Structure 1
């Protein structure tokens, strides 16, 4: 029959687990801080990200898994609406913005804001 683990081994395992938990917590915090610092991060991303930072580990994971994408999509909708409402936005660009908004596809909205809008008026 194997000998039971010593108290020293048990303490070492507990310390290692605590260190691992602290490392994960720090990694989650850094990842969220980086996302809310991005230039395209609007008020929704910043608000939801800050709430996650003040929440539980599960809140932070949820933000990184799905919350960020949903918040960024909302910020992109706002940015597209602002672009559409600018007085100097061309009719062609306004038409393209309306088309992108109808799709509601987060990746298409992000691409349009980063690249597509600049290709419309060329």
Structure 2
């Protein structure tokens, strides 16, 4: 295990300078996005047949979702303050359009910090998503692809830091990183790197 790690460490150290992209971060790079979950209208009743109360309940559920973005929030609020037809329109076409807009905003907000931190896989995948601009693909990536890509970049960042710490003789940092690599918990590694970079 440690022998394999030593090989990866050498590779990471050699590649590190090439992976640091000089593009500046976008505004508010500290707002790291959590994985979003689309709130589906969960009802056996078609939207066109929902009562006003059912429409309000469905839109309220969307508003209360943890990952609801600004575009969805504003569109949902307008629908709730409008007519029954406004609420139906929001649930059938307005919500998907607003969600797609929010997802694009999230991608741009993620791209800056990813470039700043040298997160090569996240940067590449976001750039490709923006080029294709497929709302369904973007939504799926935010829910499932991003955590995998970020975890890979975070592990690489640990190997780079490990090499630097070993060269500097920083025993404490070496122990911390080795512990993280032994446990290989993606959430723990992400939290540790965030705290380390903010220190």
Instruction: Give the alignment's TM-score, normalised by structure 2.
Output: 0.48
> CA 1:89–1:61 in 2, change beyond 3 Å: closer, same or farther?
farther
How many Å apart are 1:69 and its aligned residue? Answer: 0.4
Partner of 1:105: 134
Structure 1 runs not aligned, ≥5 long: 1-22
> CA 1:89–1:51 in 2, change beyond 3 Å: closer, same or farther?
farther
Out of 60-69 and 95-104, give the one that drifted further. 95-104
Structure 2 runs not aligned, ≥5 long: 1-49, 153-199
Partner of 2:96: 69
How many Å apart are 1:40 and its aligned residue? Answer: 2.2
SS at match of 2:56: helix
Q: Distance in 2 between matches of 1:112 and 1:40?
A: 15
Count of residue correspondences:
100
Which structure has the larger Rg?
1
Q: How does 1:1-122 map to 2 (within 5 A)?
A: 24-86=51-113, 87-88=116-117, 90-121=119-150, 122=152
> CA 1:37–1:107 in 2, change beyond 3 Å: closer, same or farther?
same
Question: Relative CO higher for 1 or 2, CA cutoff 8 Å, sep ≥ 6?
Answer: 2
CA RMSD, aligned part only?
Answer: 1.4
Instruction: Give the alignment's TM-score, normalised by structure 1.
Output: 0.76
Out of 110-119 and 45-54, give the one that drifted further. 110-119
